[in-house]
Amino acid sequence: MTDGLGGANVLVTGAAGFLGSHLCEALLDAGARVSGLDNETTGSSAAVAHLADRDDFTYRRCDVAEPLPDLPPADVVMHLASIASPVAYRRMPLETLRSGSAGTLNMVELAAKNRARFVFSSTSEVYGDPLEHPQTESYWGHVNPIGPRAVYDESKRFGEAAIVGARAAWGVDAGIVRIFNTFGPRMALDDGRAVPAFIDQAVRGVPLTVSGSGLQTRSLCYVDDTIDGLMRMAASDREGPINIGNPVEHTVLELAETIVRITGSSSSIVHGPMPPDDPQRRRPDITRARDELAWEPTVDLETGLHRTLDWYLDQRDASWAVTAPVR
């Protein structure tokens, strides 16, 4: 279903981030011409350095929440620019809100002017600590608008509202995807995410730090599957929102135990306090993705963890260190 992207001019924001860099690579492999933008607040141009010599790829450092410079024409705009790390958005709350508000409005207006297909990468965090399980796209969520996670959660909720408004006001061909927990190579170790933090701790032989009892659940999707979902959305005319995530549920404790096992680590598992408003259960209903995009994940958790571990072992650096409890 991604055949329609061959030969397309695609603009990707957040191109130097974890998901953005994988998306740029996959789009190029599908035959698209890609222009990447990133202000490198949390991303790094090193993530797309391997693409720099390609004639069909350009990269520009740019803050999409500011007035935009002249940009090449686009057939598709994929807006991934966001501060998504719990550590980073607590450190940069206003920057997080601006990327989700001003940044989204700037990019959807650009899509309107180009008559381009627009894809907004929202998040499962719009569901908050859900009272509905699994989460369907019709669920409005259970979100604390003034809690410690609010700047990220509400920036994405605003972004979704902006897309709906842009459809009504400008007739934009826009789709919303709600991305659930995704993992894989190029994740930062120090951003509070469970998979890279646990891998680093296990490899170094230090205790894995689990928040609370560890019985809270997450649904973990390998990055290749998430990117496939994003590209299918870009090549479609679907409005969404559409959940993109793995419907197989695991406890955080189970995840920690699995990583200890596959790394052959002697690390113990210790428990820390539970962060405020931390979701207790998280699992997507992907019926809509199956029906409308013919999408579902194909990489199981352990296969994805082995691939991620192999990448981290190749990239290992003595400066890596993770000590904070993770989610």
The verdict on pTM exceeding 0.85 is yes
Q: Which of 59, 89, 127, 152 is catalytic?
A: 152
- The answer on 252 and 233 residing in a single domain is no
Q: How many CA atoms lie within 13 A of 1 on its CB side?
A: 20
Please state the rounded mean pLDDT for residues 104-123.
Answer: 97
Domain count across the chain: 2
- The answer on 8 and 144 residing in a single domain is yes
* Domain of residue 10, CATH code: 3.40.50.720
- The answer on 172 and 213 residing in a single domain is no
1 has a pLDDT exceeding 70: no
- The answer on 148 and 40 residing in a single domain is yes
Residue 293 lies in a domain: no
- The answer on 101 and 18 residing in a single domain is yes
* Domain of residue 190, CATH code: 3.90.25.10
322 has a pLDDT exceeding 70: no
Residue 18 lies in a domain: yes
Please state the rounded mean pLDDT for residues 178-191.
Answer: 89
- The answer on 19 and 96 residing in a single domain is yes
Residue 291 lies in a domain: no
- The answer on 145 and 37 residing in a single domain is yes
Q: What is the pLDDT of residue 250?
A: 93
Residue 109 lies in a domain: yes
Q: What is the pLDDT of residue 81?
A: 95
Burial (Cβ within 10 Å: 0-12, 13-18, ≥19) of residue 164? middle
Condensed to tens digits (0 to 9), the pLDDT of residues 264-309 reads 999 999 998 888 777 788 899 999 999 999 999 999 999 999 999 9
Residue 152 is a catalytic residue? yes
- The answer on 228 and 309 residing in a single domain is no
Residue 152 lies in a domain: yes
Convert the chain into a string of H (helix), E (strand) and C (coil): CCHHHCCCEEEEECCCCHHHHHHHHHHHHCCCEEEEEECCCCCCHHHHHHHCCCCCEEEEECCCCCCCCCCCCCCEEEECCCCCCHHHHHHCHHHHHHHHCHHHHHHHHHHHHHCCEEEEEEEHHHHECCCCCCECCCCCCECCCCCCCHHHHHHHHHHHHHHHHHHHHHCCEEEEEEECCEECCCCCCCCCCHHHHHHHHHHHCCCEEEECCCCCEECCEEHHHHHHHHHHHHCCCCCCCEEECCCCCEEHHHHHHHHHHHHCCCCCEEEECCCCCCCCCCCECCHHHHHHHCCCCCCCHHHHHHHHHHHHHHHCCCCCCCCCCEC
- The answer on 44 and 27 residing in a single domain is yes
- The answer on 205 and 146 residing in a single domain is no
- The answer on 252 and 138 residing in a single domain is no
- Domain extent, residue 255, equals 184-218+248-281+299-315
- The answer on 201 and 102 residing in a single domain is no
